[in-house]
Amino acid sequence: MGRVPAMIRVSEIFGPTIQGEGALIGLPTVFVRTGGCDYRCSWCDSLHAVDSAFRHTWVPMTAEAILGRIAELSGGRGLMVSLSGGNPAIQPLAPLIAAGHAQGYRFALETQGSIAQDWFADLDWLVLSPKPPSSGETVDWDRFAACLVPGPQVVMKIVIFDEADYAFARDAARRFPDLPLYLQPGNPVVEETATPTGLNERMLWLVDRVVQDGWFAPRILPQLHVILWGNKRGV
Ligand SMILES: C[S@@+](CC[C@H](N)C(=O)[O-])C[C@H]1O[C@@H](n2cnc3c(N)ncnc32)[C@H](O)[C@@H]1O
Ligand SMILES: Nc1nc2[nH]cc(C(=O)O)c2c(=O)[nH]1
Ligand code: SF4
Ligand SMILES: [Mg+2]
């Protein structure tokens, strides 16, 4: 009997669009958003992939089926695939990454760093996004450090809403001085039907804060997709 392929729980697959955040900003990307998360950040902009009330919308898919959909969306041309969620680290993604590489795709994975997997080593990019105090979650730094496997380009991306989050980012930078750091202002209005407000003001506050401190290591970037499309899903 053949092996039953492990199922990946998928909330949505969309693109190509541009990566709106962090190190790969602006790069044409297909997103695979998995369903389910071990965190529940107070300001999560992707609750439809976190809250179990949306569980009925998550579809179990094989790696082969997901690659088929990526190929449809990309016209079969290799491009960057972003594995996000929810927490994609809780899904069996190793076969998808291996088969996708063979077809010319590259893979970035976005995770909070709460769960490490051996197969992170097979990624091209690993975006670790430890959660600041405003999220209501608490980082286990030992678990976070366990995510730092050799292989992918690893970067850190931290969302900042307030002064306490800023202090958290400074502490994270002291703990992991070798990780390129991206700071991203938080979007406080995440309902799909609502228009985000005050994005410019938050960005300006953060730029000011960093520059006034003489802290010249991080890059400060807005969520480009939110500027362009607001809280619309699937972009
Ligand atoms: C929805 S999460 C999914 C991946 C993973 N669970 C994580 O948090 O890294 C993708 C990225 O969006 C960020 N994010 C979520 N809600 C946000 C908000 N309201 N404003 C700004 N960034 C947000 C997260 O911090 C993370 O960097
Ligand atoms: N365009 C675009 N860029 C993104 N970067 C991170 C996203 C995410 O929700 O993981 C995201 C997203 O949903 N859309
Ligand atoms: S860890 Fe990521 S997906 Fe999970 S609740 Fe927080 S922001 Fe949302
Ligand atoms: Mg998002």
For the CA of 44, the closest atom of ligand 1 is: 16
Nearest to 20 by CA among 227, 169, 182, 183: 227
* Contact status, residue 26 vs residue 18, Cβ threshold 8 Å: yes
Residue 65 included in any domain: yes
Residue 24 included in any domain: yes
Pocket of ligand 2 contains residue 86 by CB under 6 Å: no
Ligand nearest the Cα of residue 224 is 2
Band (pLDDT 50/70/90 cuts) for residue 227 is very high
* CATH (domain of 49): 3.20.20.70
Ligand 3 centroid to residue 76 C-alpha, Å? 30
> Tell me, what's the pLDDT at 119?
98
For the CA of 85, the closest atom of ligand 1 is: 3
On whether 45 is known to bind a ligand per the annotation, the reply is yes
The number of distinct structural domains making up the chain is: 1
Band (pLDDT 50/70/90 cuts) for residue 149 is very high
Residue 196 included in any domain: no
**Under 8 Å CB-to-CB from 219, ≥6 apart: which residues?**
180, 181, 182, 183
Q: Which domain holds residue 28?
A: 8-159
CA–CA distance, 46 with 55 (Å, rounded to integer): 13
Q: What is the pLDDT of residues 159-217, one digit of tens each?
A: 999 999 999 999 999 999 999 999 999 999 999 999 999 999 999 999 999 999 999 99
Q: Which residues surround ligand 4, an ion (CB under 5 A)?
A: 45
Whose structure tokens read 């039953």? 4
- Span 86-100, average pLDDT: 98
Helices marked H in 38-137: 63-74, 94-102
Report yes or no on whether pTM surpasses 0.90: yes
Strand partners, 61: 8
CA–CA distance, 210 with 218 (Å, rounded to integer): 8
> Which residue of 32, 34, 39 sits with most ligand 3 atoms within 8 Å of its CB, as the best mutation to test the pocket?
39
Q: Where are the beta strands (DSSP E) in 173-222?
A: 181-185, 219-220
On whether 43 is known to bind a ligand per the annotation, the reply is yes
Residue 205 included in any domain: no
> Which residue of 14, 19, 34, 41 sits with most ligand 1 atoms within 8 Å of its CB, as the best mutation to test the pocket?
41
Ligand nearest the Cα of residue 234 is 2
- Span 60-72, average pLDDT: 98
Q: What is the pLDDT of residues 3-45, one digit of tens each?
A: 788 999 999 999 999 999 999 999 999 999 999 999 999 999 9
> Tell me, what's the pLDDT at 2?
65
Q: Where are the beta strands (DSSP E) in the chain?
A: 8-18, 28-34, 59-61, 80-84, 106-111, 125-128, 153-160, 181-185, 219-220
Q: What is the pLDDT of residues 98-115, one digit of tens each?
A: 999 999 999 999 999 999
Pocket of ligand 2 contains residue 11 by CB under 6 Å: no
Residue 171 included in any domain: no
- Span 135-158, average pLDDT: 98
Helix (H) or strand (E) holding 142: helix 141-146
Residue 118 included in any domain: yes
Residue 177 included in any domain: no
CA–CA distance, 125 with 191 (Å, rounded to integer): 29
* Contact status, residue 128 vs residue 154, Cβ threshold 8 Å: yes
Residue 213 included in any domain: no
> Tell me, what's the pLDDT at 5?
82
- Span 44-50, average pLDDT: 98
CA–CA distance, 90 with 56 (Å, rounded to integer): 18
Cα torsion at 137, 143, 145, 151 (round to 10°)?
Answer: -110
> Tell me, what's the pLDDT at 1?
55
Is pLDDT of 229 > 60?
yes
> Tell me, what's the pLDDT at 4?
82
Q: 80 by DSSP, 3-state: which?
A: strand
